[in-house]
Amino acid sequence: MELNCKQDVIGRLKNKQSVIGIVGLGYVGLPLMLRYNSIGFRVLGIDIDARKVSQLNSGKSYIEHISSERIEKARGTGFEATVDFSRAAECDALILCVPTPLNKYREPDISYVISTTDALKPYLRAGQVVSLESTTYPGTTEEELLPRVQENGLKVGKDIFLIYSPEREDPGNPNFETRTIPKVVGGHTNECLEVGVALYEQAIDRIVEVSSTKAAEMTKLLENIHRAVNIGLVNEMKVVADKMGIDIFEVVDAAATKPFGFTPYYPGPGLGGHCIPIDPFYLTWKAREYGVNTKFIELAGEVNRNMPEWVVGKTIDALNSHGKSLKGSRVLVLGVAYKKNIDDMRESPAVEIMAMLGNKGARVDYSDPHVSDFVDHHGHKTGLTSVALNDDTIREYDVLVLTTDHDLFDYRLIEKSARLIVDTRGKFRESRGNIVKA
């Protein structure tokens, strides 16, 4: 029975007869949907947000780097979105792409993973494969998904197949797409792994098999902690270099010429996005269960969390050097997305910098060619809108703080027109009297 079920699932995937269910239609789920749709699978998207579902079914995108034309084309070739979780029974594969944030105590919040699995549970059936892609701590798939998937009598590895395959999306990166980013896959059993490989090898150029779901979960954390720690290192060196009158960006550029043993990481105003500022805490929290204190990782996190305060301090010093106080000054923050050339504000350090400046009495506006309306952490519009940059508007502000170095900014205009610039991204390399490196 086991062999027949497994072979049937693999056969349907290889013949593209399977219905692919994508649960969570955000920055991870939507590109994955488009990829499976483009190679001939019927895809059903499931999301709790009725507004998003309505937009997608109308052929409209809500993510800047994914065009509405692509959504409309997918709608015409079998894609459909729904808020009805009972339709999960129609799907042969269920890929979970839901958020895994931190709670107010900076502890892992896997409530979305659990509530989504609970919502799917009544509709799970034999012959399905369930894949979790959300970043989480090692053991989540075994401890939380496995018992829920088996609750109604299904046997994982025989009737239904459970895998973990971490997402690796990099929004706005023109060099990689869903197809070309290697996919790590770990199964609860060997049979699960075989099915997981069959699921993803249809859509992804290279599959990387690991021995367990725990190994796959740890792989994702290592990838992002590697970045967080190295960014923390260079952010700390930035502070030291600044005290010594050294340009850290010049130093990193010079070090990057070494053809071996060095990977360049550049400092900034702090960490942003859904992964890098959050993922280290998933490991440090879980490590305590094993009596391990991850001091090195936590120290890097502390350095990175202090960067917005450092930027505000440099802004205060810059204004003071020009005979002005921060209180009452007009400040324009350039870029509120967490990284260049995208519209995603999640965990953006610019948001914290704006709040800190405002709390100290500054009159703060922002300009971002990718974010027309400023939204709070709950996704609600605040009424603050992006300022269009021209010579006149730039001259109205006492200081411009560059927090996100979008390519669409006119840097020559900014440098020419601004009274004072606080540069957190090393965009203005020449030393001038109106430019302060932060």
Q: Domain residues of the chain, as ranges?
A: 2-212, 232-437
Element holding 2 (H helix, E strand) = helix 2-14
As given in the structure block, the two tokens for residue 371 are 């974010």
Q: Tell me the angle at which helices 213-243 and 248-255 cross, rounded to the nearest 10 degrees.
A: 130
In the block, residue with structure tokens 């879980």: 286
Candidates 97, 140, 143; CA nearest to 120 is 97
The active-site residue out of 5, 91, 97, 275 is 275
State how far the Cα of 201 lies from the Cα of 182, in Å rounded to an integer.
10
Candidates 414, 427, 351; CA nearest to 384 is 351
As given in the structure block, the two tokens for residue 347 are 């965990």
Rounded alpha-carbon distances, angstroms, from residue 188 to 124, 193, 202, 210, 311? 17, 7, 21, 11, 46
Q: Does domain 2-212 have CATH number 3.40.50.12160?
A: no
Helical spans, DSSP H, in 39-189: 50-57, 68-76, 111-120, 140, 146-149
Question: How would you write the pLDDT of the chain (438 residues) with one tens digit per residue?
Answer: 445 899 999 999 999 999 999 999 999 999 999 999 999 999 999 999 999 999 999 999 999 989 999 999 999 999 999 999 999 999 999 999 999 998 888 889 999 999 999 999 999 999 999 999 999 999 999 999 999 999 999 999 999 999 999 999 888 788 899 999 999 999 999 999 999 999 999 999 999 999 999 999 999 999 999 999 999 999 999 999 999 999 999 999 999 999 999 999 999 999 988 778 888 989 999 999 999 999 999 999 999 999 999 999 999 999 999 999 999 999 999 999 999 999 999 899 999 999 999 999 999 999 999 999 998 766 677 889 999 999 999 999 999 999 999 999 999 999 999 999 999 999 998 777 899 999
Q: What is the pLDDT of residue 225?
A: 95
The strand ranges marked E within 299-380 are 330-334, 363-367, 373-375
State how far the Cα of 155 lies from the Cα of 161, in Å rounded to an integer.
8
As given in the structure block, the two tokens for residue 94 are 């269920």
State how far the Cα of 247 lies from the Cα of 343, in Å rounded to an integer.
29
Domains 2-212 and 232-437 are alike in CATH topology: yes
The amino acid at residue 405 is: D
State how far the Cα of 315 lies from the Cα of 318, in Å rounded to an integer.
5
Residues 6+ apart with CB under 8 A from 254: none
Q: Is 245 left (phi over 0), alpha (psi -120 to 50) or beta?
A: left
Q: Tell me the angle at which helices 213-243 and 279-289 cross, rounded to the nearest 10 degrees.
A: 120
Q: Does domain 232-437 have CATH number 3.40.50.2300?
A: no
Q: Which residues pair with 186 in a beta bridge?
A: 164, 210
Exposed, middle or buried, 292 (CB in 10 Å: 0-12/13-18/19+)? exposed
The amino acid at residue 250 is: E
**Catalytic: 192?**
no
State how far the Cα of 100 lies from the Cα of 127, in Å rounded to an integer.
27
As given in the structure block, the two tokens for residue 365 are 């506006």
Residues 6+ apart with CB under 8 A from 368: 334, 335, 336, 337, 386, 404, 406
